[in-house]
Amino acid sequence: MTIWDILLQQIINGVSLGAMYALLALGFTMVYGIIELINFAHFNVFMVGSFVGLWVLQAMGIVGQGHPLYGLALIGVLLTALVVTMLITGVIGVAIERIALRPMRNVPGTAAMITTIGVSYILFNFILLGAGADSKNYANPLPSVHWEIGEAVLRLREVLVWAVAFGLMLGLNFFVRRTKMGKAMQATAQDQEAASMMGVDVDRVVVIAFFLGSALAGAAGLIFGLYYNYTSFIIGYTAGLRAFTAAVLGGIGNIPGAMLGGILIGLIESLGGQFLAVRWTDVIIFSILVLVLVFRPAGILGRAAPSRS
Amino acid sequence: MTQSHGTTSAWSRALLLAGAVAALATLGAAPARAADKTVKIGITLPLTGADAEDATLIKNGAVLAIEEANAKGGVAGYKIETVIYDSGTATAGQYDPAQAATNTKKLAADPLVVANVGPQMSGEGKAMAPILSQADLATITPSSTNPDITNPAMAGQFRPKGKAIYFRTVTTDAFQGPNMANYMAQILKIKSVYILDDSGAYGVGIADSYQKQAEKLGIKVLGRDQLNPKEADYTTVLTKIKSLKPDALYYGGVAQAGVKLAKQAYDIIPNIPKAGGDGVQGASFLKGVGFPAANGWYATNASPHMLEDPGVQEWIKTYQARFKMLPNDYSITAYNGALVVLDAIKRVAESGKEVNRSNVRDAIQATKLKTLQGEVSFDEHGDMLSKVVSVFQYRHDPKYPDDDIIHQQKYEGVAPAGS
């Protein structure tokens, strides 16, 4: 492989990884933008999403690998799995907000954030007890189609990750910028009190933010499973922490920032692993985070909404 | 330990007295318990997390031996109780050395515990050994292979009180890693290799010993890197490996990282031989990876391969009937480990000495026991005298279920020894 093949291959790897981080980062950033809460339950909503996706695929009769589908059957199965997974994780997100976080909304201090850590552990242990601790061999309906560009290889599963991630991100961007509800979200993010005085139903905005964020995490969970052919009850922690870093890197509360941050973290991970060593990955990522926080505390793109203080 | 003897004998004296005094008849329950003569054997294994599958197979082996002994009326008048501790934690997602240490302290605090079977992993073993040494409590591991723990040069760290307390019914990575390097050089004719480990005690150790031998044999080591077992994405390092075009990949580590590595390696470097130690030999790895990705992986075991011996078939049937699952080779080493403990208890009791930890430890040290894996006996550091390493290759056989560990791998023979 020439250096260009290697570079291209690592960019393909990095963008795929980054697309998943970006989907996950959007959930952190939306909730933070609106109620200034770091939602650690999001880590494990993602993990639950990958299990829900697995169960939906299994319910459609897809078990293990080596039984690929083609054409419309493949698209139908993937779309069904995606929609059902997103609905279920979205509802889980709403339930978390309604049951655990709304009573905490006006409690000063870190109580709400600590509640999200508790909820995260509940989801974690729920899956651990319900599904067992072993690594799961993910159901995989994708045929092993690939294209070669020089010696770099682009696989169908990478195209799928990109299509799902960028499609959902464009959809979200449209929703936030163009729809009435999206504008209400922006207004709430800018000033919750003023928005509610203008007739915005803040509770509803928060519910929608949780629903969308968790649904995106569910989608990330499903494509994670399809991409790696693997899931386990512990996947939330590392991916969640990286995605959270991505959100901070891009500018927490800033939706395009989360997308940019996710892709950047993915690329840093793959190129750092190629040119240094994978054992330094975390050191590189978190050093960059520290540098960004020192020199540009608001993140690369800055906070979209002015701080309420 | 001596202190707890003191309390035990003081107790029995008090109870004799109590028996004589009719007014204290309410204490009658206590002497009855003493007359039953119970001793306990600990079993410490990572029963939750990525290693749970194989840990359960090991636990069942030890439990089977103890149940059989109790069914025959106990050992020299002693009823054997098992104390099972889980050393896997949800936060680690696999074995957790800190939890293993906590469990060992609990075992050490119970004077009736005379020996332990476990751990599965060397990472646990390293945390447990100093505590075991302080408590004079012997353990027999059926699968932990890191040589440091029994290395006399490191005795100050792992057995500060001097006597061997860490016995094994398997050999160590001082043989497992190098013998696989021999196998690769002599039989697979490998000229260059890339080496990965999973940053655990076992993984780093076996990868080091493999690397040393590979370099000695003239296999070119094109690189060495370390995987984070909690990370999901190994495509980066695999792409790097692909670009270096090695003849083979060697992975030192256990299932948590191994499963993801094997799946992604199947996509990125499908055609080069890939191998690992006993960390990728077993149900946790096979079930997590599945076929076709597991196909072609080589794995070693630090014990002879016994499951296909005609003499073992009867035992396999018993195991299967009792636990509704198939055993692996380390179920047998665990069964044998428990037999070694039971045999030691028997010899101590029959010699008229008190059945306590330090006597049981001495008896284990002197073991000469015929078992399903041949004669088990130990050197003065706790290592087994027999040093056989077996090689396997995963090969898909569609006649059997995909996770049938006995039929989905082929025994390739004993790995060539010697340096």
Judged against a pLDDT cut of 60, whether residue B237 lies above it is answered with: yes
CA of B400 vs chain A CAs: smallest distance (Å): 15
Q: Does A233 touch chain B (CB under 8 A)?
A: yes
Q: What is the pLDDT of residues A121-141, one digit of tens each?
A: 999 999 988 988 888 889 889
Pairing state between β B274-276 and B298-301: parallel
Nearest CB to B90; choose among A128, A224, A282: A128
Task: For the beta carbon of residue A139, count every other beta carbon within 10 angstroms.
Answer: 24
Question: Can you give the residue range of the structural domain that contains B219?
Answer: 173-301+389-414
Together in a domain, B272 and B349:
no
Together in a domain, B183 and B165:
no
Judged against a pLDDT cut of 50, whether residue B264 lies above it is answered with: yes
Pairing state between β B113-117 and B166-168: unpaired
Please indicate, yes or no, if residue B274 is contained in any of the structural domains.
yes
Please indicate, yes or no, if residue B8 is contained in any of the structural domains.
no
Nearest CB to A270; choose among B228, B236, B290: B236
CATH number of the structural domain spanning residue B284: 3.40.50.2300
Please indicate, yes or no, if residue A246 is contained in any of the structural domains.
no
Cα dihedral B300, B301, B306, B308 sign? negative
Please indicate, yes or no, if residue A199 is contained in any of the structural domains.
yes
Please indicate, yes or no, if residue A168 is contained in any of the structural domains.
yes
Together in a domain, B165 and B53:
yes
Confidence of residue A67 (pLDDT cuts 50, 70, 90): confident
Together in a domain, B395 and B271:
yes
Backbone angles phi, psi at B259, to 5 degrees: -60, -45
Together in a domain, B157 and B241:
no
User: Best of A21, A44, A137, A276 to disrupt the B interface by mutation (most B CBs within 10 Å)?
Assistant: A137
Classify residue B208 as left (phi > 0), alpha (psi -120 to 50) or beta. Answer: alpha
Q: Can you tell me the mean pLDDT for B225-250?
A: 94
Domain count, chain B: 2
CA of B396 vs chain A CAs: smallest distance (Å): 13
Pairing state between β B138-141 and B113-117: parallel
Please indicate, yes or no, if residue A17 is contained in any of the structural domains.
no
Together in a domain, B178 and B157:
no
Nearest CB to A133; choose among B52, B225, B264: B52
Together in a domain, B157 and B272:
no
User: Best of A43, A144, A229, A231 to disrupt the B interface by mutation (most B CBs within 10 Å)?
Assistant: A229
Q: What is the pLDDT of residues A180-211, one digit of tens each?
A: 999 999 999 888 889 999 999 999 999 999 99
Domain count, chain A: 1
**Residue-by-residue DSSP string for B149-180:** GG-GGGHHHH-TTSS--EEESS--HHHHHHHH
Question: Can you give the residue range of the structural domain that contains A120?
Answer: 26-235
Complex ipTM: 0.87
Contacts of B290 in chain A (CB under 8 A): 64-65, 137, 229
Query: Which residue of chain A is at minimal alpha-carbon distance from B287?
Result: A137
Contact B386, B164 (CB under 8 A): no
Contact B135, B164 (CB under 8 A): no
Together in a domain, B178 and B266:
yes
Query: Which residue of chain B is at minimal alpha-carbon distance from A242?
Result: B231
Q: What is the pLDDT of residues B71-87, one digit of tens each?
A: 999 999 999 999 999 99
d(CA A49, CA A51): 5
Confidence of residue A64 (pLDDT cuts 50, 70, 90): confident
d(CA B52, CA B105): 22
Please indicate, yes or no, if residue A140 is contained in any of the structural domains.
yes
What are B's interface residues with A at a Cβ cutoff of 8 A?
A: 48-50, 52-53, 88, 90, 93, 199, 225-228, 230-237, 239-240, 242-243, 255-256, 259-260, 263-264, 267-268, 284, 287-293, 402
Together in a domain, B123 and B259:
no
Confidence of residue B94 (pLDDT cuts 50, 70, 90): confident
Please indicate, yes or no, if residue A122 is contained in any of the structural domains.
yes
Cα–Cα distances (Å) from B416 to B80, B170, B307, B391, B392, in that order, read 40, 17, 20, 10, 13
Please indicate, yes or no, if residue A280 is contained in any of the structural domains.
no
Please indicate, yes or no, if residue A183 is contained in any of the structural domains.
yes
Together in a domain, B184 and B128:
no
Q: Can you tell me the mean pLDDT for A100-115?
A: 89
CB contact under 8 A, A277 and B225: yes
Q: Can you tell me the mean pLDDT for A293-298?
A: 88
Together in a domain, B166 and B44:
yes
CB contact under 8 A, B230 and A238: yes
Confidence of residue B44 (pLDDT cuts 50, 70, 90): very high
Together in a domain, B166 and B183:
no
Backbone angles phi, psi at B224, to 5 degrees: -145, 130
Please indicate, yes or no, if residue B54 is contained in any of the structural domains.
yes
Contacts of A65 in chain B (CB under 8 A): 290-293
CB contact under 8 A, A278 and B267: no
Element (H, E) at A291: helix A281-295
